[in-house]
């Protein structure tokens, strides 16, 4: 029995650039930065005082007060993004076999805000354990997948993937594989993260991982720039509907793009640093091409991991040139993290949406905040600096990498029947 084809039939997002997919996409094309001073807590004593926050968010706009109390902010973002994707796709139809629709929802950290609050309250008390009964269910990284399945009655495979910043890309590869081997007909797949709080910012400051460009937050996320000083932490969620092709056609679903292949690998090198030559990244891209049955010359666009970290921004271009050779210079490369910041476990899904829309619309969003290209990075590569580029995008690859050496690459292509 041959593998079944998988397509994308729905999109949903809540991001630092906009709280719906159309708003997000429009901001990407216009090169808008989502970075600004943090509003969620007092940053007076913190080395970094800015982030890419979701703007204008009020939980009461989406949830009843009693319901919202059951959800950590990361789960709220997940439910909102998943709902937009479900509505966009029409997958909630009563005519569907809900036993064949699954949910794989990722988070790199999970309910950090809940954990921070509960432990802080305990530490300030007299030692009596007065913990909220929702503490554990709100905190755990798998709970959003459960909430989504409960809301829509989707009884197919249901779990979370956790591989740091590669988490939601891993989720997409898993959903792709489960559908094509016949375990399910469709998945709500994606990820969400809400780590813009004292623990998240303080923890990444302690690692020297995030930018401290407090005098100019909007230019702080500057992938591939000589003067980059770390990533900008972001928050939000993104969801996609992956669906078996014949199932989608039978219900008259619109099709954004086809999922062509996925690749996974490990650096097996260091806890937080990438392989200096990008060997693991090269392996995941190579595996995705092989899985898709495609040649390197078939790739028109590549959405990089591109975090604006000193080491990662050197190793990934090396991996691209190592794999694609001369064709690397014909690929329109970008880093949407220059605008969104780094959504951690949700990064793969939000960049998956950006890649789907690039394929559908034949336009590549820009990489902003490029002032001086790092001399260690190949200047012949096209990083789509400054403004969006219109070009035919028949197939695109998106990369996401995580602490621990986790690498995930996904290829999306035009659906051509």
Quick one: which H or E segment has residue 75?
A: helix 73-89
- With beta carbons less than 8 A apart as the criterion, state whether 19 and 57 touch: yes
Q: Which of 396, 332, 397, 315 is nearest to 360 (CA)?
A: 396
Q: How far apart are CA 12 and CA 34, in angstroms?
A: 18
At 163, is the secondary structure helix, strand, or coil? strand
Closest CA to 165 of 376, 68, 308, 287: 308
Question: Does residue 52 carry a catalytic annotation?
Answer: no
15 pairs with which residues across the strands? 18
Point out the catalytic residue in the list 83, 275, 301, 305: 305
Question: Among 400, 369, 374, 399, which Cα is nearest to 384's?
Answer: 369
The radius of gyration computed from the CA coordinates of the chain, to the nearest angstrom, equals 20
Residue 65, φ and ψ in degrees, nearest 5: -55, -45
Instruction: Report d(CA 93, CA 308) in Å as an integer.
Output: 42
DSSP output for 3-43 = PPPEEEEEEEEEBTTBSSHHHHHHHHHTT----EE--SS--
C-alpha span between 220 and 40 (Å, rounded): 19
Catalytic residue chosen out of the listed positions 83, 165, 275, 406: 165
Q: 213 CB contacts (<8 Å, ≥6 apart)?
A: 50, 219, 220, 229
Among 83, 247, 342, 406, which one carries the catalytic annotation?
Answer: 342
Look up 305 and say whether it is catalytic.
Answer: yes
In the annotation, is 342 catalytic?
yes
Q: Where are the beta strands (DSSP E) in 5-155?
A: 6-14, 36-37, 50-51, 101-106
C-alpha distance from residue 118 to each of 40, 121, 124 (Å): 17, 5, 10
Q: Are 240 and 8 in contact (CB under 8 A)?
A: yes
The catalytic residues are: 165, 305, 342
């Amino acid at each position: 029995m041959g593998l079944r084809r998988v397509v994308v039939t729905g999109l949903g997002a809540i991001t630092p650039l906009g709280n719906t997919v159309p708003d997000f996409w429009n901001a990407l094309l216009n090169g808008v930065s989502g970075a600004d001073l943090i509003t969620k807590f007092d940053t007076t004593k913190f080395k970094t005082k800015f982030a890419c926050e979701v703007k204008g968010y009020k939980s009461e706009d989406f949830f009843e007060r009693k319901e919202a109390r059951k959800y950590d902010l990361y789960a709220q973002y997940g439910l909102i993004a998943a709902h937009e994707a479900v509505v966009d796709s029409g997958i909630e139809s009563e005519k569907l076999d809900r036993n064949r629709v699954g949910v794989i929802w990722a988070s790199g950290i999970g309910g950090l805000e809940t954990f921070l609050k509960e432990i802080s309250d305990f530490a300030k008390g007299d030692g009596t354990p007065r913990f909220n009964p929702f503490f554990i269910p709100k905190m755990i990284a798998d709970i959003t997948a459960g909430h989504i399945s409960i809301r829509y009655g989707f009884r197919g495979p249901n779990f979370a993937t956790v591989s740091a910043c590669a988490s939601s890309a891993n989720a997409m590869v898993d959903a792709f594989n489960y559908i094509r081997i016949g375990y399910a007909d469709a998945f709500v797949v994606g990820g969400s993260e809400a780590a813009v709080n004292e623990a998240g910012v303080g923890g990444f400051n302690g690692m020297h991982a995030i930018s401290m460009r407090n005098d100019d937050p909007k230019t702080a996320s500057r992938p591939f720039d000589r003067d980059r000083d770390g990533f900008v932490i972001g928050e939000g969620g993104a969801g996609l509907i992956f669906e078996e092709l014949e199932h989608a056609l039978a219900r008259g679903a619109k099709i954004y793009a086809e999922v062509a292949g996925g690749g996974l690998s490990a650096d097996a090198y260091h806890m937080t640093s990438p392989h200096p030559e990008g060997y693991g990244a090269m392996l995941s891209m190579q595996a995705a091409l092989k899985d898709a049955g495609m040649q390197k010359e078939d790739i028109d666009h590549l959405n990089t991991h591109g975090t604006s970290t000193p080491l990662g921004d050197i190793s990934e271009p090396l991996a691209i040139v190592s794999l694609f050779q001369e064709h690397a210079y014909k690929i329109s490369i970008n880093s949407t993290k220059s605008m969104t910041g780094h959504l951690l476990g949700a990064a793969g899904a939000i960049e998956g949406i950006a890649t789907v829309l690039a394929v559908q619309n034949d336009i590549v969003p820009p990489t902003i905040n490029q002032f001086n290209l790092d001399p260690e990075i190949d200047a012949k590569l096209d990083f789509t600096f400054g403004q969006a580029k219109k070009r035919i995008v028949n197939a695109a690859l998106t990369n996401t990498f995580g602490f621990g050496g986790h690498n995930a690459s996904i290829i999306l292509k035009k659906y051509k029947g």
